Structure 1
Amino acid sequence: MDNSLIIALDFANRSEVARFLEPFGDRELFLKVGMELFYQEGPSIVQLLKEKGHQIFLDLKLHDIPNTVFGAMKGLAQLECDLVNVHAAGGKEMMQAALEGLSAGTASGRKRPNCIAVTQLTSTSQEQMNKEQLIPITLNESVLHYASLAKDAGLDGVVCSAWESVSIHDNTGNSFITVCPGIRMESDHVGDQKRVATPEFARNAGVSAIVVGRAITRSADPANSYEQWMEAWKGVHQ
């Protein structure tokens, strides 16, 4: 999990995924399957990618009553993903139920998927959180609170901004996973993200894994773009 670069497969169907992956040949990647792709293709897309040797982050951000999340995670565990997530706003009991469901659904002798919690989306600003969520504290305080709650619930880590990774590790320990979207090169367009950071900043902040989407998936040469990102992220030539 440490120093992983996760490619966000923000595609509508498996045909688009296949076209994107073709230039990579047999290279094994860490891929994120989110709502758009999973809701169109279902579990079979995860099974297909796992059969090809890829690691999978199934990014469905579960947020429901504990019993429902337990049942959903019990089913999702059978897909043998490497990473899944929930919303920390669902509360400690819900997060504990997620872990219980994953454990119940994981086959004997297999490792359960790592489970992390979304703190505040990287598209959320301080003003938006205060006015729309009616949370009167700072964004950083909210993120740290959710991270501590996830740690107390037994989760493996959180989704957060790279800007919050250092303070989260200070509060939860370096083994607590921080997965960070909103990563951009200096020259990249920010898009709909608010709290963005460069791969170099993320590396220096002790981030466990970064999530990169359009900068690779919309590139004219995705395999080359991936290599450039890996070099920037790892700090060495691949």
Structure 2
Amino acid sequence: MQPNPLIIALDFPGKADTERFLRHFSGETLFVKVGMELFYKEGVPLIHDLKAAGHHLFLDLKLHDIPTTVRRAMKQLASLEVDIVNVHAMGGTAMMVAAQEGLDEGTPAGRGIPSCIAVTQLTSMTEKAMNEQLYIAGSLMDHVLHLCGQVKAAGLAGVVCSAQEVPAIREAIGSQFFTVTPGIRMAEDEVNDQHRVVTPADAAKLGADAIVVGRGITRAADPLAAYRAYETEWRNRG
């Protein structure tokens, strides 16, 4: 997997829109994210198409179920030979351990095992909502760090988190813990339904390992130019 990837979120309703978007990137090898909307519509054939085109792939399904179910599901996903998969950290340590076991069991011989990361708190979540709606007391940061400790104990590669949380995660968990950070916007972009957002430059300064960009690229008038702008700001990590 390439270092410090910029991952494009393919948040499209179906294959036709996805292919129309990807035509802007003819000849490019991308790192793309397929989430629930697109996967549930197009399924495994789309994953095969994206991999056949040479793209790296984060399959973002956020599994959260009993350990046996998650292990069996991950065993199936491992056969797709994607690069990253994920679970919800709030499923607990046993579930996360089972997820890794499923990936180990399901990966074809001679292939790399997909990296498994865990979602801590969504970047749309606020501390107030966590306290009042999820009925989880304390600060959002403290809860994220608690979940990160469980993710590390389960043996997973890292987490999906806000870039704002990366320095505290580095201090508490260590520098080898992989951090994938959505909620990335250029300074002039609309925030939309995200709350804990940062620019690509700020994500780099905060030490994020990977960023996920959606609407800033997928809805741009010139997606390739937008991608280049995000990439330039992200890669300039000095």
Show the 5 A alignment for 1:95-174. Answer: 95-174=96-175
**What is the Cα deviation at residue 2 of structure 1?**
3.1
Q: Look up the match of 2:64.
A: 63
Q: Look up the match of 1:181.
A: 182
Q: Look up the match of 1:81.
A: 82
1:192 aligns with 2:193: yes
Q: Look up the match of 2:4.
A: 3
1:46 aligns with 2:54: no
The alignment's TM-score, normalised by the length of structure 2, stands at 0.98
Show the 5 A alignment for 1:10-25. Answer: 10-25=11-26
The alignment's TM-score, normalised by the length of structure 1, stands at 0.98
**What is the Cα deviation at residue 129 of structure 1?**
0.1
Which whole-Å CA distance do the structure 1 matches of 2:36 and 2:29 have between them? 22
1:30 aligns with 2:31: yes
Which whole-Å CA distance do the structure 1 matches of 2:57 and 2:32 have between them? 5
**What is the Cα deviation at residue 137 of structure 1?**
1.0
1:91 aligns with 2:92: yes
Which whole-Å CA distance do the structure 2 matches of 1:136 and 1:171 have between them? 20
Deviations 1:126-185 (A, max 9, x none): 100000111101000011011111000000000000000011111111111000000111
Structure 1: runs of 5+ lacking an equivalent:
none
**What is the Cα deviation at residue 3 of structure 1?**
1.4
Q: Look up the match of 1:229.
A: 230
Q: How many residues align?
A: 236
Between 57-66 and 2-11, report the one with greater CA deviation.
2-11
Cα RMSD (Å) of the superposition? 0.8
Q: Match of 2:27, SS?
A: coil
Q: Which amino acid aligns with 2:76?
A: G
Q: Which amino acid aligns with 1:216?
A: I
Which whole-Å CA distance do the structure 1 matches of 2:45 and 2:138 have between them? 42
Which whole-Å CA distance do the structure 2 matches of 1:202 and 1:160 have between them? 11
Q: Match of 1:171, SS?
A: helix
Structure 1 residue runs of 4 or more that deviate by more than 3 Å after TM superposition: none
Which whole-Å CA distance do the structure 2 matches of 1:83 and 1:71 have between them? 17
Q: Match of 1:210, SS?
A: strand
Which whole-Å CA distance do the structure 1 matches of 2:194 and 2:24 have between them? 28
Q: Match of 1:44, SS?
A: helix
Q: Which amino acid aligns with 1:141?
A: D
Deviations 1:5-45 (A, max 9, x none): 00000001111111000011111000000000000000111
Q: Which amino acid aligns with 2:53?
A: K
Report the identity percentage. 54
